Chains A and B, each alone.
Chain A
Amino acid sequence: MQKFKTIKSIPAYLPIVNIDTDMIIPKQFLKTIKRTGLGKNLFYEMRYNEQGTPNDDFILNTSPFNDTKILIAGKNFGCGSSREHAPWALLDFGITCVISSSYADIFYNNCFKNGILPIVLPEAKIKELSEYSKRKEEIIINLEKQKITFGNNEIDFEIDQFKKKCLIEGLDDIALSLEKNPKINEFEKKLSSNRPWILND
């Protein structure tokens, strides 16, 4: 996984609540057997007309937002299907930070596995940032300091310290867990006597 570095980018604001993962990447693009190449189909149905031509009104089709690395959106972002294709599509488009007042659980976890930082802020701060985004000026996301800088203002954000460490160091979850192999072996040994039907039938 890519190490998460400080981001400087003009954020795009999508003023919709409950953006579901079907909206982020519709099912016709889930037939891939790869993780890459989904960026062009991110938000497909909002981004393209029925004929497949770009919808010029959609924010990610307009300059400078088509190059953004930061997406600000309404609450409960990423609800619905567990498809990791949603963060893959965001990442492939170039978005490595999402800012919302809340996320659906599975999407939130999926972000961290892909080097994407999902920031949670109170509604009032989202409002402030989304207003600021109209200026089309760069903002800075510093994960190390847990700080968003925009103009002369700053917002601090909270994050689980273990998740933060994994993002900054680009740690491989599986390698970390495999280090616990002796503990897993020990658990399985107990399992075969405590709940033998789990391993035996």
Chain B
Amino acid sequence: MSKTLYDKIWDDHLVHTQDDGTSLLYVDRHLVHEVTSPQAFEGLRNSNRKVRQPNLTLAVADHNVPTSDRSKGISDEESKLQVETLEKNCEEFGIKLFGMNDKRQGIVHIIGPEQGFTQPGSIIVCGDSHTATHGAFGSLAFGIGTSEVEHVLATQTLVQKKSKNFRIKVDGKLSIGVTSKDVILQIIGKIGTAGGTGYVIEYAGSLISSLSVEQRMTICNMTIEAGARAGLIEPDEKIFNYLNGRPMSPKKENWDKALEYWIKLKSDGDANFDKEVTLDGKDIMPMVTWGTSPQDVISIDGRIPNPENEADEDRKNSIERSLKYMGLKPGTAIKDVKIDKVFIGSCTNGRIEDLRDAAKIVKNKKVAQHVYAMVVPGSGLVKQQAEQEGLDKVFKDSGFDWREPGCSMCLAMNADKLKPEERCASTSNRNFEGRQGRGGRTHLVSPGMAAAAAISGSLDDVRKFQN
């Protein structure tokens, strides 16, 4: 029988299946961070259980770490305790940890690929919804809760029911100034935040395969914003080249064996998908969110929608609530919306290509006077690379704050946050109420669009800044 890529990965990881279809799957790679793991380790201790495969587990502190000078440690007592708890747990259970001052430290979904820990055809989990990111490598990667983290630590397996197959095909080319962030925002706008619920999405089509490895990660990363269990892309030469020689990539004869296996990882030509959606690259514009859900998205030429035009009562109420929270009026051109802050970073857009995209726009220009703009590289290695390329100087010269790596203002767990009613152009993934700080107003955009907004002081069209 013909199979999708998801079907194949699923089958290759089946340890046991019950009569009702509930299955036990083997987990190849487990990423751990400080926020969703303390209770899991505590659970292991209370039941006197060990970590079954410490070598398949990699830990890093990212959510709570300060992005300012770290030489004095963490001043917030609770954050400090959580990071120290991770350190202690890793030591006790024999898990490899990138400490706060390790140059390899960074956002868990950036360091996995960077180290070669993320590999095609594997099952990767983490107590974090943006684990979907790793699907860019043709792995089945998804977020789990803390009880499941404990389950994986104890058994190296996870209890799952199979999802349905959903293919999103994007053909054609990206127009100038349009990025994979715009592609995924447009997809979420089209299918909605629950459009993927119950499915694993495979992204396919000529536009998807033309994307770089890092651009693919942005797409898979936000799959969770469409509600899907995971998002993945068939691995190809670009992926294999990216992984070759990374510290945790397979070595020598194992590399050859891995490659032989990886090359076969693709959906069969006649495989059945339960749902399909198609997009054309030429219809994708630079996008921006106006509301408090990632599906509340319009092109930069668009206007704020009017709830009165909605027939569906729930949708109408939801738009009204969003507009009230966002302090926006129906019919306003989104380009007329003034911003206070700009955040460039996160597991969605904190990689080197993202920083290059943004730097290109701000080079030799100044951040608008009323705007505070910050860049938070996704990892210590991204930061180091950017500094080698002189990007830090470009950002600093134009008035950006250049910071230490971490999750930062994507979720505002550390000191980086919006004040009530402050408005931010952000390259992160969620514009939920209060996400970047209580009362804060988030507009999700690509790195180039965030850079354009920083210079203009309002949401603006990145294409205006292209030479």
Contact = CB atoms under 8 A, between A and B. Distances in A.
B435 A197 contact: no
B306 interface: no
Nearest to B230: A105
Q: What are the nearest 10 A-B pairs in CB distance?
A: A197-B250, A113-B147, A33-B38, A31-B78, A110-B145, A84-B145, A82-B143, A197-B254, A84-B146, A82-B129
Given A50-B420, A160-B161, A197-B255, A33 B42 contact: yes
Interface string A24-44: 001110111111000000000
B372 interface: no
Contacts of A35: 39, 146
B250 A201 contact: yes
A182 B147 CA distance: 22
A104 B194 contact: yes
B321 to A, nearest CB: 7
A106 B145 contact: yes
Interface in B144-175: 144-148, 150-151, 154-157, 159, 161
B430 A106 contact: no
Interface of B: 12, 15-16, 18, 20, 22, 24, 26, 28, 35-36, 38-39, 42-43, 47, 49, 52-53, 55-56, 63-64, 76, 78-79, 81-82, 85, 119, 121-122, 127-129, 142-148, 150-151, 154-157, 159, 161, 193-194, 197-198, 224, 227-229, 248-251, 254-255, 257-258, 261, 293, 314, 317-318, 321, 411-413, 420, 430, 432-435, 438-439
Contacts of B432: 20, 22-23, 80
Contacts of A75: 194, 314
Contacts, number: 193
Interface string A134-170: 0000000000000000000000000011100000000
B143 A32 contact: no
A92 interface: no
B132 to A, nearest CB: 10
Nearest to A83: B36
Given A27-B413, A30-B413, A105-B229, A82 B144 contact: yes
Interface residues on A, range: 35 or more
Given A22-B430, A84-B145, A184-B26, A195 B155 contact: no
Nearest to A22: B432
A33 B420 contact: no
Interface of B is mostly: loop
A109 B148 contact: yes
A77 B249 CA distance: 39
Contacts of A76: 193-194, 197, 227
Nearest to B41: A33
Given A17-B318, A161-B20, A199-B55, 8 more contacts: A31-B82, A81-B129, A105-B198, A109-B145, A110-B148, A114-B147, A177-B24, A198-B28
Contacts of A81: 128-129, 411, 430
B314 A187 contact: no
A173 B435 contact: no
A33 B81 contact: yes
